[in-house]
């Protein structure tokens, strides 16, 4: 008897290039957090520094998120009730897997430290830090440990920022209605301030406050939504996308400045959206685009697999290097892909649907029933 697993399917046929780009970005983040293991230990620091630009794939996520949220919800948040429904769907999309991976991260660190595992960075076990992370507040409420701001499953900082962008989204919509190019203008002002500070000796946008880092990219995505009809006129957008993606990976791999990398991040996102607005995706894009559905699972699971398989097992326990370590990296990538698929199909999707179906009335009734069971006199007057 053959085991048949459900196939991945794109949510629609409208944004296939964007879906594929989401998957490429998630693969780029996995590479960013693991490519040091392709090198001998003595040159890993240099390799990390040279290819640090891969972290800008997170900014590509922010652009794509701004565009997709605007594409779906720009005309669907016209009342407080609709806004609450929008936020419920966003929580359903992000929170269940975040809570699961957070709990497993705490467990793995706790057990690993007991058995002598020495990670590069040790998150704080303080309850305040854990609760901030659980409620996706950790990107804006700093919690320092040993002089650093560190949290379990650290890449979830961008999920925290996503929730802030969602809360502000109705305001961005109102601005866009009055002034179509307002997202570009506001984003440009914020980014210009960051670049000016960098020129006077301040940090690059990669080290800026997380909200300030994400805001221009999210707004740029919203701006692209409002000029999507213009983007459809770009000739050969699919070829433009392929070219921009090649250049983007090239500049990320060769120590280019963060500012230059960001320029190509924006151009790559623009090309993908232009290709979708033009339509007529190739068979390759149609076949590969459903992989974009695993993006969130890949993003939240990969850090745990890299920590256990590569850092703990391969590096600290087996002391691998060279070909054996490269083989282990390949195995780790396969495990991330397989587990992300299973997570998306059998946890993330069912959990999202369950939270989507919840109503405020049903939650209040459940709480009332629970309290009545604890206190039989509750509700009797």
H-state helical runs in 54-79:
57-73
Determine the angle formed by the axes of helices 57-73 and 258-278, rounding to 10 degrees. Answer: 40
Instruction: Classify residue 208: in a domain, yes or no.
Output: yes
Instruction: Classify residue 118: in a domain, yes or no.
Output: yes
Instruction: Classify residue 100: in a domain, yes or no.
Output: yes
Determine the angle formed by the axes of helices 80-114 and 349-357, rounding to 10 degrees. Answer: 140
Model's pTM, two decimal places? 0.91
H-state helical runs in the chain:
16-34, 44-50, 57-73, 80-114, 127-134, 157-178, 182-199, 210-226, 228-231, 237-253, 258-278, 283-288, 295-305, 322-343, 349-357, 360-374
Instruction: Classify residue 1: in a domain, yes or no.
Output: no
Residue-wise pLDDT for 281-322, tens only, equals 999 999 999 999 999 999 999 999 999 999 999 999 999 999
Give the residue-averaged pLDDT of 270-288: 95
Instruction: Classify residue 4: in a domain, yes or no.
Output: no
Instruction: Classify residue 61: in a domain, yes or no.
Output: yes
pLDDT at 349 over 80: yes
> In terms of residue numbers, what domain contains 309?
16-374
Instruction: Classify residue 379: in a domain, yes or no.
Output: no
Q: Quick one: pLDDT band at residue 13, thresholds 50, 70, 90?
A: confident
CA 320 to CA 188: how far, in whole Å? 46
Give the residue-averaged pLDDT of 247-261: 92
Helix (H, G, I), strand (E, B) or coil at 55: helix
Q: Which helix (DSSP H) or strand (DSSP E) does residue 149 occupy?
A: strand 148-149
Give the residue-averaged pLDDT of 85-105: 96
Both tokens assigned to 285 = 């894009």
Which of 86-95, 138-147, 253-262 is most confident? 86-95
pLDDT at 378 over 60: no
Q: What is the pLDDT of residue 333?
A: 98
Give Dmax over CA atoms of the chain in angstroms.
74
The answer to whether 104 touches 156, Cβ cutoff 8 Å, is no
Give the residue-averaged pLDDT of 374-378: 46
pLDDT at 41 over 60: yes
Residue-wise pLDDT for 42-57, tens only, equals 898 888 888 889 999 9
Instruction: Classify residue 6: in a domain, yes or no.
Output: no
Number of folded domains in the chain? 1
């Amino acid at each position: 008897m053959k085991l048949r697993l459900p196939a991945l399917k794109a949510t629609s046929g409208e944004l296939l290039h964007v879906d594929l780009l989401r998957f490429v970005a998630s693969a780029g983040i996995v590479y960013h957090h693991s490519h040091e293991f392709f090198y001998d230990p003595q040159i890993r620091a240099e390799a990390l520094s040279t290819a640090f630009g891969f972290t800008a794939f997170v900014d590509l996520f922010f652009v794509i998120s701004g565009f997709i949220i605007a594409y779906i919800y720009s005309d669907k948040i016209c009342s407080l009730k609709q806004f609450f429904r929008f936020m419920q769907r966003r929580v359903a999309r992000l929170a269940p897997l975040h809570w699961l991976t957070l709990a497993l991260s705490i467990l793995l660190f706790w057990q690993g430290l007991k058995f002598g595992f020495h990670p590069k960075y040790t998150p704080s076990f303080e309850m305040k830090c854990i609760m901030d992370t659980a409620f996706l507040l950790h990107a804006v409420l700093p919690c320092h440990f040993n002089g650093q701001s560190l949290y379990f499953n650290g890449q979830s900082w961008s999920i925290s920022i996503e929730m802030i962008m969602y809360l502000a989204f109705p305001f961005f919509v109102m601005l866009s209605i009055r002034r179509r190019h307002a997202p570009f203008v506001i984003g440009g002002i914020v980014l210009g301030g960051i670049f000016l500070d960098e020129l006077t000796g301040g940090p690059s946008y990669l080290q800026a406050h997380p909200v300030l880092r994400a805001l221009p990219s999210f707004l740029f995505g919203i701006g692209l939504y409002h000029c999507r009809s213009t983007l459809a006129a770009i000739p050969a957008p699919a070829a433009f996308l392929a070219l921009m993606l090649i250049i983007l990976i090239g500049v990320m791999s060769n120590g280019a400045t963060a500012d230059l990398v960001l320029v190509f991040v924006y151009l790559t996102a623009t090309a993908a959206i232009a290709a979708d607005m033009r339509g007529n995706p190739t068979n390759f894009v149609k076949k590969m685009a459903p992989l974009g559905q695993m993006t969130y699972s890949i993003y939240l699971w990969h850090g745990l697999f890299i920590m256990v398989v590569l850092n703990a097992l391969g590096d600290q326990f087996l002391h691998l290097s060279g070909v054996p370590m490269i083989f282990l990296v390949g195995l780790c990538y396969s495990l991330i892909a397989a587990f992300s698929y299973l997570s998306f199909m059998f946890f993330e999707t069912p959990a999202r649907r369950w939270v989507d179906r919840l109503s405020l009335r049903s939650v209040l009734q459940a709480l009332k029933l629970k309290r009545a069971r604890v206190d039989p006199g509750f509700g009797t007057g």
